[in-house]
Amino acid sequence: MGPVHLKQRNLGETFAGGTYADIVESIGHTPLVELPRLSPKPGVRIWAKLESHNPTGSVKDRVARSLIEDAEAKGAISPGSTIFEPTSGNTGIAMAMICRRKGYKLKVVMPDNVTEERTQLLRMYGAEIVYSEGAKGSNGAVEMALDMAEKDSSYYMPYQYGNPANPMAHYTGTAPEIAEQLGQISAFVAGLGTGGTLMGCARYFKEYDPSIQIVAAEPLQGELVQGLRSLDDGFIPPIIDLSLLDRKIVVSNRDAVVWTKKLLDEEGVFAGVSSGAICAIAVRAAEKIDEGNVVFVVADDGWKYLSSGVYTKTIEELEADGSLESTLFW
């Protein structure tokens, strides 16, 4: 039998993403994929960092690992400890997986109008759920969790909104991966949620190349968008440093859904709705430059949102049945 000839590999390609000692160690190392059909100009290339390739399907795996390992290093938790955290779903799911793997208990506060899939995943990993008022969005979950933590000192709350370990996950992980995978970057786009992805990547990229534009995708004030927030709604996470942002662009819930469908229809990317919002802003950022690479983060895929009907109903059907107003998609 003659030699086996392997196909020529793409720049930055690795076989099977590597080999790891356990599921927690496999977090990160996600692919960067070009989306040529979405580019507004021949000289501009748009790239998506597919964080859905993490073990629980979202970028929050990076954050959860960083928060928990930081608490371990400080001696704040030990096996059997109860970790307590407000979440819109993904951070809680990621923490639940890691807590089960490491022997911690987890209790989360989450808005009561999230999609059913997130509740099921949290329970599957053994988390205890306390629901906050859905109309108040993730801000309501934060408010309730802070009040509960103040009354019960037995909980350890990493508090992703104010913990430097959150952006550090991206400063040491997400951003260096993108820089290694791509080299030259003209603009980086991420959603404005806890601030972790934006702040960690912004700090790294400004050190890597100060000319890189840092662009935030922000929901319209008052719109309940899972995982993202409008700073005009009154809560600015303590880890956010607005001076690191070059631009902050507002996107509507409707446009987020439209672009989520466009990602699926034109590029085959099955993304969560926050990623549709971020994609819309990435294309707008691409329109402002003549050539170069625009990178955005696809925070998660669409599996946790199937029950919302986003992927099977038309935008008109979603508007008619009230889904755009009543469901926390992002």
- Positions annotated as catalytic residues are 60, 274
Give the C-alpha separation, 35 to 96, whole Å: 32
| Distance from chain centroid for Cα 281 | 15
User: Listing from the earlier edge strand, what are the strands of the sheet with 128-132?
Assistant: 128-132, 105-111, 82-86, 155-156
Q: If 0-12 CB within 10 Å is exposed, 13-18 middle and 19+ buried, where does residue 136 land?
A: middle
3-state secondary structure of 145: helix
Going by C-alpha positions, the residue among 21, 20, 24 that lies closest to residue 102 is 24
Residue-wise DSSP of 176-202: HHHHHHHS--SEEEEE-SSSHHHHHHH
Please enumerate in sequence order all residues whose Cβ is within 8 A of that of 10, keeping only pairs 6 or more positions apart, or say none: none
Handedness of CA 26, 28, 34, 39 (dihedral sign): positive
SS3 83: strand
Q: Could you tell me which of 225, 188, 207, 237 has the C-alpha nearest to residue 63? A: 237
Contact at 8 Å (CB) between 34 and 45?
yes
Helix boundaries (H) for 237-272: 253-267
Euclidean distance between CA atoms 247 and 252, whole angstroms: 17
**Closest residue by Cα to residue 263 from 228, 305, 291:** 305
CA distances from 181 to 31, 120, 231, 293 (A): 9, 35, 32, 12
Nearest to 310 by CA among 264, 261, 269: 261
